[in-house]
Structure 1
Amino acid sequence: MSKKRREIPVFEQPIIETHCHLDYLKDRPLAETLAEAQRVNVERVITIAVAPDNLATVRELTGEADWVYGTQGIHPHEAETYTDAVEAEIREHVGGEKMVAVGEIGLDYFYDNADRTVQRDVFRRQLQIACDTDRPVVIHSREADDDTIGILKEFEGTLKRRGVIHSFTSGPGLARYALDQGWCLGFNGISTFNKAENVRDIIRMTPIEQLLLETDAPFLTPVPYRGRENAPFYIPFVAEKIAEVKVLPIEQVLTTTYANSLRTFFPD
């Protein structure tokens, strides 16, 4: 008989799930997923756009509940699908009441699913949208630390609101630059993986006031549920790991990351 997994902890403090992909979840009905998230005190969920064919889907998903929010943006994997028409759609909708950021945008040199020159151009164009619309940014950066820093430096004088470098797995150089510039770093189930000491090192150096909780569901399911599809209701395990790594009370982690999420995405 297999060993029973721990039950998901339920904390008194509310949690904001700052990064997931609700339209990619397959294991259960969405209403059931959202109900389970509420049961573990997830107060708000941000579902993230990544491609031209899910920009409208994300907008529709925000109608599932008044506490579901979204973003508008094109992932670096999809950079070669970025067109003037796609940019116009992002610009038209990113200022909507339920849209809280431009994203997920950035650079990915690990998979190289799109030409790197194209990725850099699309990253710049979407950062300009954030400048023009006064929206925060959700950034994806993988194996592209130097170019991510270089492009962000180009916008230091015009990007009034920052945002988050999500699912942070980069090196300390990008972490220090981002933190010095007022960005938050987002951490998810990777923080619980046995071989992710490099990520835990970044968590240790990140001020708790600049740290966000996320799942990136359906990907990167935290221990002890690795092997299952990830979901927003697993986020308490991420909070627990952050508290353990930073040697802080879980109450402090939850209260502070909640305030960080409000400041980043819900400032009004």
Structure 2
Amino acid sequence: MSRKRREIPVFDQPLIETHCHLDYLKDRPLEETLEKVRSVNIERVITIAVSPDNLAQVRALSQLHPWLYGTQGVHPHEAEAYSDACEAEIREHATDDKIVAVGEIGLDYFYDNADREVQRQVFRRQLQIAADLGKPVVIHSREADEDTIAILSEFEDTLERRGVIHSFTSGPGLARYALDQGWCLGFNGITTFNKAENVRDIVRMTPVEQILLETDSPFLTPVPYRGRENAPFYLPFVAEKIAEVKELPLEQVLSATWQASMRTFFPDDGAH
């Protein structure tokens, strides 16, 4: 017998979806998804680049509406496809008006889809782009805590103190390092999973002023919609769970995460 799923809550305060992949969504027409996103008071959406093949697509998506934004970068899974031409494209467009960060970049030793040394080289090269251009970074790190800290440490004097380790599932050591650097940690539907107490422990230790809300859709659909394709309009469930885990009023979480998102990606915008 199927349980009735809760309606998506709509809050008075706006939210920012800091990490999704609009070009990966398949369940419904994109404009239908975007209408639903706006209906639950999500005011800004950042869609994330992951490979040489979708850099231009992300830029095009960011132009569809004034409230859509994008990034430019190559995910560690695609590190072996990185090239000088790809780097030139990222560097050229990272300062476009609707591009807010270099990302998604980093290390993934869980899947090892690319040689680890290549991953490290490509991570460094993209961090250098961000350092040169004064852009924040969106970082993916999985089963690679020590190397992530080591490489980020090389850039402590040159990188902006703005960035996020997204979909945080790493240990407290990487969390403390990132937080001490003034960075944010991104949390998504994983926080609602029954077996994710390790992630909730990191949520508890993270100052709410350094938390970003994300869905990483179409992946990691939150409870109570597990089994369906994830979408940015499920973000309110993540906000609710963060408030529950942190034992804070929802309004405080919404305000703090909004301000953290603005500080990280829109520092010149007077709306924060």
TM-score by length of 2: 0.98
Aligned to 1:35: 35
Shift of 1:3: 1.9
3-state SS of paired residue (1:164): strand
| Residue 252 of structure 2 corresponds to residue 252 of structure 1 | yes
The answer on whether the counterparts of 1:135 and 1:161 sit within 8 Å (CA) in structure 2 is no
The answer on whether the counterparts of 1:134 and 1:161 sit within 8 Å (CA) in structure 2 is no
Aligned to 1:80: 80
CA distance in 1: counterparts of 2:212 and 2:180, whole angstroms = 16
The answer on whether the counterparts of 1:168 and 1:186 sit within 8 Å (CA) in structure 2 is yes
CA distance in 2: counterparts of 1:160 and 1:78, whole angstroms = 25
In the TM superposition, 1:150-189 aligns within 5 A as 150-189=150-189
CA distance in 1: counterparts of 2:162 and 2:2, whole angstroms = 45
In the TM superposition, 1:86-105 aligns within 5 A as 86-105=86-105
3-state SS of paired residue (1:156): coil
CA distance in 2: counterparts of 1:160 and 1:219, whole angstroms = 29
CA distance in 2: counterparts of 1:159 and 1:8, whole angstroms = 38
- Identical-pair percentage: 80
CA distance in 2: counterparts of 1:108 and 1:39, whole angstroms = 35
The code of the aligned residue for 1:51 comes to S
The code of the aligned residue for 2:22 comes to L
The answer on whether the counterparts of 2:161 and 2:181 sit within 8 Å (CA) in structure 1 is no
Cα displacement string for residues 195-251 of structure 1 (whole angstroms, at most 9, x for unaligned residues): 000000000000001000000000000000000000000000000000000000001
Shift of 1:162: 2.4
Cα displacement string for residues 111-153 of structure 1 (whole angstroms, at most 9, x for unaligned residues): 0000000000000000000001110000000000000000000
Aligned to 1:126: 126
CA distance in 2: counterparts of 1:34 and 1:66, whole angstroms = 12
Aligned to 2:202: 202
3-state SS of paired residue (1:121): helix
| Residue 221 of structure 2 corresponds to residue 221 of structure 1 | yes
Which stretches in structure 1 are left out of the alignment for 5+ residues?
none
The code of the aligned residue for 1:65 comes to H
CA distance in 1: counterparts of 2:192 and 2:137, whole angstroms = 25
Cα displacement string for residues 13-62 of structure 1 (whole angstroms, at most 9, x for unaligned residues): 00000000000000001101011010000000000000000000000001
The answer on whether the counterparts of 1:164 and 1:183 sit within 8 Å (CA) in structure 2 is yes
Number of aligned residue pairs: 268
Give the ranges of 4+ consecutive aligned residues of structure 1 lying more than 4 Å apart after TM superposition: none
The code of the aligned residue for 2:192 comes to T
3-state SS of paired residue (2:53): helix
CA distance in 2: counterparts of 1:3 and 1:112, whole angstroms = 38
Shift of 1:2: 2.2
The answer on whether the counterparts of 1:215 and 1:232 sit within 8 Å (CA) in structure 2 is yes
The code of the aligned residue for 1:267 comes to P
CA distance in 2: counterparts of 1:101 and 1:48, whole angstroms = 9
Aligned to 2:62: 62
Shift of 1:64: 1.5
The code of the aligned residue for 2:24 comes to Y
3-state SS of paired residue (1:253): helix
The code of the aligned residue for 1:122 comes to V
The answer on whether the counterparts of 2:189 and 2:223 sit within 8 Å (CA) in structure 1 is yes
The answer on whether the counterparts of 2:161 and 2:182 sit within 8 Å (CA) in structure 1 is no
The code of the aligned residue for 1:173 comes to G
TM-score by length of 1: 0.99
CA distance in 1: counterparts of 2:209 and 2:89, whole angstroms = 33
Name which of structure 1's ranges 197-206 and 159-168 shifts more when overlaid on structure 2: 159-168
